[in-house]
Structures are given as structure tokens and as C-alpha cells.
Amino acid sequence: MGESNLNQDKNKFHYEKLYANYNIKNILHWINNLDEFLASATTTETSWFALYQRDFKNRIKGKKVLEMGCGDCVNAAVMAALGAEVYANDIANSSGKIVEALNEAYKFEFPIRFVSGDFLLNKLDSKKFDFVVGKAFLHHLELPVEEQFLKETARLLKEDGEARFFEPAVNSKLLDELRWYIPVKGRPSKFYKTDFAQWKKNDPHPDRSFSSTHFENAGKKFFKEVEIIPVGTLERFSRFFKWGSQKNNFKKWALKTETKLPRIINKTLTRSQLIIYRDPFKELD
């Protein structure tokens, strides 16, 4: 487990710093203009488009929802503003400070409850939750730790509950290799060996599979039903547009159009995925 602890410490260090002194002004603006925010986010941003598919927005009202890796707490705040009873967990204590500030500044029907520290040590009651969600979270875990999180997810969900995770997807070896050579903001190209090695040392992502097949098999250990929805096959080309309405229009078109691509193409070339797990095995109580 030494490797896993090291990975957890790296994540904590990285995100503690990132969310320290976080200003909740934007979140308050978004939850005060919720319909407008969701109309835009769920049609232009891959993570919001994915997580809020299939009427998630209306299905969580009055329901108990657990968010793992809540980070800057934007999604936790949006779900709470939609009337969900939100439990939010993160390894970074600064996320807890954001939750405190949000609860003080906004009158949620159910104030957000922060579940602090290592989630696996927080033994919440079995079959408590209608939804367990994570946005860009699972891929931060080493595989043995992810397995424990999925087992815990199955234990915590009600029998008719649902888990939803939005994660990056790498389903083609060629694309996987290529992506390291294309620099993105904050990550140098693998062509620059020293810079790349320095970046890798501090990067909070473990070396592991993000493939849809991995998430399918990982889920099948604890759930009878697994569904993977590719997201971002065409949207990924929005990076060639400058910020502005053209980029947004392209994203809207891409997210809608890519759902009509043949499954095999969409799955192979997708940039990310919504993973849905339902019907947890009963013997996990």
C-alpha cells in the first residue's frame, strides 16, 4: 500500500494548495442564476454534459447524494441548490473550508455536509444514498484503492441507487502515446525529456488504465448493471477554436452530433466517458 499512500499524499498536497484561499464568488453567482448556468454548462462542457444526462437535474431533488472528490465544490453547490441532500468528500481539507463558506453564504434547503479526509475510513451507513457521483475523481486513485472505493460505493447505495462517474477515457493505444507529445496548458511535450520528467514527478495522476473496458470490468465486480457513455469524440477539436461564441457553438454542435456516431468509432476515439453503475450486489452489506 506504500505506493497508494504516496499517491494520496501527492493528491492532497496538490489540491490543498489549489483550493486554499478559494473565492466562492463565482459559485454563488452560478447558483443564484442556476437555470442559466446549467443551460450553458450542460450543453458546452463535457463534464456537465455527461454528469447531468438523463434528467439528473430533476432526479436529485430531495435525494441523498454523495460526491467523491468534490474539489472546488462547484458541483456539490449546484446539486445542493437543486434541492439534493449533499454529502461531499475530498482528501483536501480546503474543500471543507469551501463547503463551510458556501453554507454560510447561501440558504440551501439541506446544507452541504463535508465528509473529511480518507473516505474509506469514514464508515457511513449502508444503503444510505440514492446517488454516488464523482467528477474527474476515480482516475486519481491507484487501481487497488479504486477497487475499494467502488466496493464502498456499492455498499453505500440504496438497492435502486445509481453511481455516476465522469472520467477521462483512453481507448486507443496510438492516441494514448500521441497525447503525451502534444503539449497542453501546464504539461510540456514528452519531446522535452527533462521538463516532462519534472512535470510527471508532481503530477497527481497515477500511471494506470483509463480505458472504458477497465471501468466496465472494475464495475462488474460490484454491480449487476454497467453502462459506459463516450463523451468528447468531436468536442475534443474545440481546442482549435479561440474562446468565444464560435467555440461554444462548435462544442454544442459536437456534443450533440457525436452521439450519432457508430458506437465503435465513438468508443475508440472518445476523450472522456460517463460511467454508470446500477444494481449493487446485495452481499456487500
- The binding site for ligand SAM (CB under 6 A) comprises 8, 11, 15, 69-72, 89-92, 119, 135-137, 140-141
Nearer CB in complex with ligand SAM: 70/112: 70
| C-beta of 201 vs 263, nearer to ligand SAM | 201
Q: CB 163 → ligand SAM: shortest distance, Å?
A: 14
Q: Compute the distance between CA of residue 205 and CA of residue 207 in angstroms, rounded to an integer.
A: 7
13's CB contacts (< 8 A; 6+ apart) are none
Q: Rounded to an integer, what distance in angstroms lies between the CA atom of residue 258 and that of residue 232?
A: 8
Residue whose Cβ sits closest to ligand SAM: 71
3 state DSSP class of 11: helix
What pairs with residue 144 in β-bridges? none
Q: How far apart are CA 167 and CA 212, in angstroms?
A: 9
The residue (of 135 and 155) whose beta carbon lies closer to ligand SAM is 135
* Shortest Å, Cβ 111 to ligand SAM: 19
Q: Minimum distance from CB of 19 to ligand SAM (Å)?
A: 7
d(CA 267, CA 158): 30
Q: Which is nearer to ligand SAM, 44 or 89 (CB)?
A: 89
Nearest approach, Cβ of residue 173 and ligand SAM (Å): 24
Burial class, 2, CB count within 10 angstroms (exposed 0-12 / middle 13-18 / buried 19+): exposed
Which of 88/157 has CB closer to ligand SAM?
88
Q: How far is the CB of 141 from ligand SAM (least distance, A)?
A: 6
